[in-house]
Amino acid sequence: MENQKTNNKESKEDSDILVSTPEQDELISLLTKRFPSVPDININHLQEDIELIIESKNIKSTCRLLKDSSELNFNYLECISLVDYEEKLEAVYHLTSFKLKQSLVIKTSISVENPEIDSVIDIWRAADWFEREAHDLFGVTFLGHPNLEPLLLFEGFEGYPGRKNFPINDYKEW
């Protein structure tokens, strides 16, 4: 049963890449031209967003390139989400290009032991609070962010409540 399901899903993914829209093909070709070294360019078959999986040290240069190149011009940072996979943290950047009317997902892993990543606040000012929130809830340090004060939590809050190992039931607030 379990196997069957995963098989199904894989086959679906394959088929979806085949039926991708011409606009997406265009974007993929643009991306491959821009980032010849990046190994993973996927299409999330559900939302039809193209995924770009990169190393965390490349985040700033990649984002800079994505925003500044005239044919891509990903000028709109929608969201920065963090997911705690226990063995690693994953930062997910959702971008949109108003020019191409296309969205792009950048994924990068951050180690749990040393959660550090470059800030993209110079590229999009929208990153400011998203990064502060991620710093609050997941304890990720965004290097180069001018002001990583607690945003949602109060000063002096201990622990990172977004992470999976935060004791949600045993936590005593008062």
Partner 1 sequence: MSIADLFNYFSYVSGLFLSLTIIVLLLVWLERKVLARIQMRMGPMRVGFHGALQPIADAIKLISKEDILPAWADKLVYWFAPIVVFVPAFLLWVTIPFGKNMVIRSLDLGLFFIVAISVLSVLGLIMAGWGSANKYAVLGGLRAAGQLMSYEIPLIMAILTIAILSQSLNLVEIVDKQSQIPNIFIQPLGLVLFFIAGLAELGRTPFDIHHAESEVVGGPFVEYSGAHWSVFFLAEYINTFTISILTVLLFLGGWHWPNIPFSGNLQTILSVFVVLIKTILVVSVIFWIRATYPRLRIDQLMSFGWKMLIPMAFINVTITACIIYYDELPLWILPILSVILLILSAVIIQRKFSKNIINTVQVISAKSLLKEKSEVDIN
Partner 2 sequence: MEINKTINSDNVDLMINMGPQHPSTHGVFRLLLNIDGERIIDVKPHIGYLHRGSEKLCENERYAQVVTLFDRLDYVANLNMELGFCLAVESLMELDIPDRASYIRVILCELNRIASHLLFYGTYGLDVGAMTPVLYAFREREKIQGFFESITGARMMHNYFRIGGIKEELPDDFNNRLSLLLDEVSQGIEECDMLLSKNEMFLARTKNVGIISASDAVDFGVSGPNLRASGIARDIRVSKPYSIYDRFDYGIPVASSGDCWDRYYVRLEEIRQSIKIIKQAMSQMEDGPILAKVRRIARPPKGEIYFRTESPRGDFGVYLVSDGSDKPYRVKVRAPSFANLQSLQYLLKGAYIADAVTILGSIDIIMGEVDR
Contacts 24+ apart (CB under 8 A), 54-59: 54/106, 54/107, 54/108, 55/108, 56/91, 56/108, 56/109, 56/110, 56/117, 56/118, 57/118, 58/108, 59/91, 59/93, 59/106, 59/108, 59/117, 59/118, 59/120
Residues in the interface with partner 2 (CB under 8 A) total 39
**Smaller CB distance to partner 1: residue 96 or 141?**
96
Question: Residues 14, 98, 125, 143: which binds partner 1 (CB under 8 A)?
Answer: 98
Q: Is 9 in the site for partner 1 (CB under 8 A)?
A: no
- Give the interface segment with partner 1, choosing from 39-47, 96-104, 122-130, 140-148 (CB under 8 A): 96-104
Measured between alpha carbons, how far is residue 100 from residues 16, 25, 42, 46, 161 in Å?
20, 12, 18, 19, 37
Q: Which partner, partner 1, partner 2, none, binds residue 100 by CB below 5 to 8 Å per kind?
A: partner 1
Q: Is 99 in the site for partner 1 (CB under 8 A)?
A: yes
Q: In the complex, which residues of this chain contact partner 2 (CB under 8 A)?
A: 5-6, 9, 44, 46-47, 49, 75-79, 81-84, 92, 94, 98, 101, 103, 105, 124-126, 128-130, 137, 150-155, 161-162, 166, 168
